[in-house]
Amino acid sequence: MAYHFDPVGIVHSCFHEKFAIPRQPSLAPAARGILELLPPYDQPEATAGLEGVSHLWLLFVFHAASSGPQHLRVRPPRLGGNQRIGVFASRSTHRPNPIGQSVVRLDAVEQGKLLISGIDLLDGTPVLDIKPYLPYADSLPHAHNAMADTAPQLISVAWKPVAWQAAREHAQRLQQPVIELIEQCLAQDPKPAYQQPQPEREYGVRFWDLNVRWHYPHAGCIQIVSIELQSIATA
Q: Which residues contact 93 (CB under 8 A, 6 or more apart)?
A: 62, 65, 100
Residue spans of alpha helices (H) in the chain = 44-47, 135-138, 161-174, 178-186
Nearer to ligand SAM, 93 or 226 (CB): 93
Closest contact distance (angstroms) between CB of 43 and ligand SAM is: 25
Which residues, other chains included, contact 1 with Cβ-Cβ below 8 Å and sequence gap of 6+?
A: none
Torsion of CA 89, 95, 99, 105, to 10 degrees: 40
Does 55 sit near ligand SAM (CB under 6 A)?
no
Task: Choose which of 125, 184, 223, 230 interacts with ligand SAM (CB under 6 A).
Answer: 125
Choice from 44, 64, 108, 201 touching ligand SAM (CB under 6 A): 64
Cis status, amide bond into 40, omega within 30 of 0: yes
For residues 25 and 177, which CB has a smaller minimum distance to ligand SAM in the complex? 25
Residue 142 CB coordination number (10 Å):
4
Q: Edge to edge, what strands does the sheet with 221-229 contain?
A: 156-159, 221-229, 210-218, 202-207
The residue within the footprint of ligand SAM, chosen from 8, 14, 21, 127 (CB under 6 A), is: 21
> How many residues sit in the footprint of ligand SAM (CB under 6 A)?
18
Give the separation between CA 198 and CA 181, rounded to whole angstroms. Answer: 25
Comparing C-alpha atoms, which of 62, 60, 72 is closest to residue 98? 62
Q: CB-wise, 131 or 168, nearer to ligand SAM?
A: 131
Please state the closest distance from residue 205 (CB atom) to ligand SAM, in A.
11
Interface with ligand SAM, residue 134, by CB under 6 A: no
Name the residue number minimizing CB distance to ligand SAM. Answer: 100
Interface residues for ligand SAM in 82-121 (CB under 6 A)? 91, 93, 100-102, 120-121
Residues found near ligand SAM in the complex (CB under 6 A): 18, 21, 23-25, 62-65, 91, 93, 100-102, 120-122, 125
